[in-house]
Amino acid sequence: MDLFEHQGKQFFKGYGLPVSAGEVAFSVDEAVAAAQRLGTPVMVKAQVHTGGRGKAGGVKFAGAIDDVRAHAANILGLDINGHVVARLWIEKASDISEEYYASFTLDRSAKQHLGMLSAEGGVEIETVAAENPGAISKVLVDPAEGLTEEAARAWVTGANLNPTATDQAVDVMLKLYTAYVEGDADLVEINPLILTPEGRVHVLDAKVTLDANAVFRHPDFEQYDATQPRDEREQAAHAKGLQYVGLAGSVGVIANGAGLAMSTVDVVNQVGGKPANFLDIGGGANAQVMADALEVINNDPDVRVIFINIFGGITRGEEVAKGIIGALDTVDIEAPIVLRLDGTNAAQGRELLAPHLNEQLVMEPTMLDAARRAVAMAAAAVTGA
């Protein structure tokens, strides 16, 4: 789950990180009222799940209330990389002496957490890495041991920050690591982390991605989940507990397991088709789960054929077949279905499905055969052949 900046700062604040006072606003009047409570000068900042806000005119300094009103009116409704601004963060402005960059994420190859810190903040870290890689100080943290103060101090010293910032930066890095680990985040990033003219180290921006699979440990994640950008298809799937990502093709995809779903999307592309979605129904392909999946895909007007790709593992093939048959009895499917069923007890499952096969429900022996059949049927539906 990607958080808005103001949510990221709320998240950071819970771990003791120094963030600026601010308020969320959904209208010009709310922005003005927030600025009056905070006191000018303030920053008027677009809240969208994408980068490049400043370049797009989505971040403005407001020295007076009239400036707040003008900037809020211009930014609300602004399209930034396909994301329309519907909320603003009105934040007390900070004086900046120096800008730094700090982040934690997972280094999968090293199987350790990776911290990055640079004295060159305020720009994209990819640019720093390409133009001056030596400006990035890195630390690998064994998850079993955690980040010690000694390691954090060596890391901060290696980043060549202003010496007056060292002690505070060490404290911020330790708290940022705690937020990253205890908060079940995939990424925590501060850009910029600033040093003020008074010598304070302060968080001026927040980019946070949380692990959606950890929601059961964090009831407060519900507030973040509610603001995730989803189209109508994704919202409907989410309401049914399905793992769904909408795409732009005509072949609807249903598979059990994220790896198989990704492979199915790939093989549809490989044989010349375009998948309409990624949909993982998980291991329990019972009648209700299958019915929910078919209903979601059936409501996508661009879908011309549905490709169900099931490999029975823990869930046995005959149970999968019963689920599909039950789903077909409860959902009025418009698009034809191409089915591939393999794995545990697949023969029994195919035997159960055989009496139900017709022009609307066809079965193929392999994933590649099924993908080719689905793509051909989708093309025929588009051309009217």
Separation between Cα atoms, residue 327 and residue 213, nearest integer Å: 27
For tokens 């980068």, the residue is 51
Tell me the β-bridge partners of 208.
188
Active-site residue, from 5, 98, 120, 189? 189
Separation between Cα atoms, residue 85 and residue 59, nearest integer Å: 11
Separation between Cα atoms, residue 18 and residue 21, nearest integer Å: 10
Q: Which of helix, strand or coil describes residue 305?
A: strand
Separation between Cα atoms, residue 194 and residue 201, nearest integer Å: 6
Identify whether 101 is a catalytic site residue: yes
The alpha helices in the chain, defined as continuous H runs, are 5-13, 28-38, 65-75, 125-131, 149-158, 166-182, 222-225, 232-239, 258-270, 287-298, 317-330, 346-353, 367-383
Active-site residue, from 91, 98, 99, 101? 101
H/E run at residue 61 = strand 59-62
Residues marked as catalytic:
101, 189
